[in-house]
Amino acid sequence: MEINLVSDTVTKPGHEMLQQMFRAKVGDDVYKQDPTVIELEDTVAGLFGMEAALFFPSGTMANQTAIKLHTNPGDELICDKWAHIFNYEGGGVAVNSGVSSRLIDGHRGMITANQVHEAINPPDFYHSPLTSLVCIENTTNKGGGACYDLQTLMEIGEVCKANNLKYHLDGARLWNALVAKRQHPKQFGELFDTVSVCLSKGLGAPVGSLLVGKHEHIQKALRIRKIFGGGMRQAGYLAAAGLYALQNNVGRLEEDHRRAKQLSVFLEQLPWIEKVEPVETNILIFSIKPQYSEAALVEKLKQKSIFISSLGRGKLRIVTHLDYKEVMHNYVLETLQKLTF
């Protein structure tokens, strides 16, 4: 029994999801003739109360499209220093859009309205890049699955409006935040110009993200997706998995959150643990005491068929997900309890 807690991207489609994929009605989505893709796009746009949505092969491409959509070469966007768009999208902000990033030292990947306001360059000062976009990540990956308060997001939104800035949400794990905070997608659709959401993380679909926004934004995004090589043909087989995930796997995210919180409480009691970061959703970040080796811990767990991530500097990460079952959870707890260095 292999237990992979490296990421929530490691899940595989179950029997029911596969059956829905096999039964999908498909067409050529490059010509916008795939009925299942259209159904998925309409469904997600409706969930957020936004006008339109566009299906992408990855969350990175959806984010990069949004950035290109809202900026011009030479502009600058504002984001947290640990934001996925800056750290984990291959420098795409610069390569794809010719845009620089103003990094904010937030708290667990989350920034405030005051920090955004202070980071805006004067629009008439042509020596500095023109600030044109604010990008938010919710939940925060490097922040350990932390969730923004809606009030903070509203305050940042007001700063954006007052300064004529576009407002994009990288919602790769937004479904987790919605469940954890008892929020509704329409609350985010009302706030942001564009929202990207992922289907292949907590929801367990094999591939796919969507970008949601106004009709005019999505029409422009369609051209940008083409430029990035993101047009897919009979993509309805993938969209069918996303529809199944939305219909069946959102509510069960609570199980992932529960197990991550149980692990955090358990880890805090172990003598070799230095610190456990607060857990709100399905990501658990912890550090071990300096006299112990994180590489040794990873290897010891690997020998027990448990796989976790090393973040460096003594920090490690566990991510719970759809394929992490209760029997596995109990085995992990038992193994951690018996572990010795």
Q: Model's pTM, two decimal places?
A: 0.96
How many CB atoms sit inside 10 A of residue 58's CB?
Answer: 18
**Residue-wise pLDDT tens digits, 312-334:** 878 999 999 999 999 999 999 99
Q: What's the rounded mean pLDDT across residues 281-286?
A: 98
Contact criterion met (CB below 8 Å) for 209 and 239: no
pLDDT at 152: 98
Task: Please answer whether residues 139 and 201 qualify as being in contact, where contact means their C-beta atoms are separated by less than 8 angstroms.
Answer: no
Q: Which residue has the tokens 């919710």?
A: 138
For the chain, residues classed under CATH 3.40.640.10 are 15-248
Taking Cα atoms as reference points, which of 286, 316, 278, 320 lies closest to residue 110? 278
- Report pLDDT for 313: 79
213-248: pLDDT as tens digits: 999 999 999 999 999 999 999 999 999 999 999 999
Question: What whole-number distance in Å separates Cα of residue 83 and Cα of residue 89?
Answer: 10
Mean pLDDT of 136-157: 97
Mean pLDDT confidence for 162-190:
98
* pLDDT tens column, 42-83: 999 999 999 999 999 999 999 999 999 999 999 999 999 999
Q: Where exactly does CATH 3.90.1150.10 map onto the chain?
A: 252-338
Indicate the CATH number for domain 252-338.
Answer: 3.90.1150.10
Select the more confidently predicted residue: 291 or 254.
Answer: 254
What is the pLDDT, as a whole number, of residue 340?
A: 83
pLDDT band at 118 (very low <50, low <70, confident <90, very high): very high
Q: Is the pLDDT of residue 341 over 80?
A: no
CATH number of 15-248: 3.40.640.10
pLDDT digit string, tens, across residues 133-143: 999 999 999 99
The pLDDT-based confidence of 1 (bands split at 50, 70, 90) is confident
- Confidence (pLDDT) at 279: 98
- In this prediction, residues 96-112 reach a mean pLDDT of 98
* pLDDT value at residue 314: 80
Average pLDDT over residues 249-253: 97
What's the mean pLDDT when you consider all of the chain? 97
